[in-house]
Amino acid sequence: MRYVRLVLALAASSQLFAGGFWLQLGNPDASAEARRINGVVIIKAVGCHDPTAAQVSANAIGIVDGKRQTIPLKLTPLAEPGTYVLTQQWPKNGRWVIQVVGKNGEQFTNTLITAGSEGLDRLHAKSDRKQFTEGEVDALLNN
C-alpha cells in the first residue's frame, strides 16, 4: 500500500513539472488571418497553462546612427487563444533584434529573433526561461 501511495505521489508531482511554458514561432504565410494584416511572424504561447492567461509583449532593439534604440511593438491577437501576429514596426534598414517576452503567473520565457533587410530569421531564434542579458542582445546585433 505504501508503494502504491509513493507511485501515485510521484505521478501527481510529475504533472506539476510537465510541459513548461514557451513561445512558439510560426510562419505567417500559413495563416490567412496573419497574411491579411501583413504579419512577419506568428507567436504562440504554449505549454501546460491557460493560453488566455499568458501575457506576451515584444520590443525591437537596434542600433541607429551608432545609438542603441528600443521600440515597443504591438502584437495583434489572432482567433486562437494565446496566439499573436507581429507586423513590421521597426525600420527596414539596419540590424535589429526582436525580443518577445512571455509571462504566465510565475512562469517566464523569452525569445530573440534577428531582423535585417532580408526579414526575420525565425529559424535561428534563441529562447530561454531566463531573461537575456544586454550583452546577449548586443552579440546578436553585432553578429
pLDDT number for residue 18: 52
pLDDT number for residue 43: 97
- Domain formed by 20-141, architecture: Sandwich (2.60)
- Going by C-beta distance under 8 Å and a sequence separation of 6 or more, which residues neighbour residue 101? 56, 57, 58, 108, 109, 110
pLDDT in tens, 30-73: 999 999 999 999 999 998 778 788 999 999 999 888 889 999 99
pLDDT in tens, 24-40: 999 999 999 999 999 99
